[in-house]
A = this chain, B = another copy of it.
Amino acid sequence: MARVQKNNGGDRLERLMKIEEVARACGLTKRTVRYYEEIGLIPPPERSEGGIRLYTQAHIDRLNKMLNAREVLGFSLQELQQHLAMRDELEAYRKSPPPPGAEAEVRTKLTEVDRLIAEHLALTERKMEGIRELQAELRGIRERIRKRLVQLEDA
């Protein structure tokens, strides 16, 4: 009873993976991957007839991008959700033709998203600055240590 489209020669090489592989590829646990789906952070993937989650490489790529954004910006999963929702809505605009008549609305939306992007970019700049500060301090400490080591060596 399980004729998952294991390899329908038509579709391009769309390898289907079960959850464990995805988890490994993203450095997460299976529980965490399911949890992310549960809270709507990632879209529910296809299922086998038996109900087993089947992912593609696209899912992995997306997840990894998310995780990077999360780590970099220090976003909570909720904030990340916002970020993604926005990104997806945008993608939707690209796919489906903008319903004629609602152009003004679309423009408003786009402008709004543009502002958000700018905000996030600003955030990355601040992060950069923070990193540089920390680096400066770390290098300072390292210098002092090295001097100290040399002193010990001489004595």
Contact = CB atoms under 8 A, between A and B. Distances in A.
B117 A141 contact: yes
A133 B114 CA distance: 18
Contacts of A120: 138
Interface in A57-113: 65, 68-69, 71-74, 87, 90, 93-94, 98, 103, 106-107, 110-111, 113
A137 B65 contact: yes
Interface residues of A, number: 43
B145 A107 contact: no
Contacts of A121: 135, 138-139, 142
A95 B15 CA distance: 62
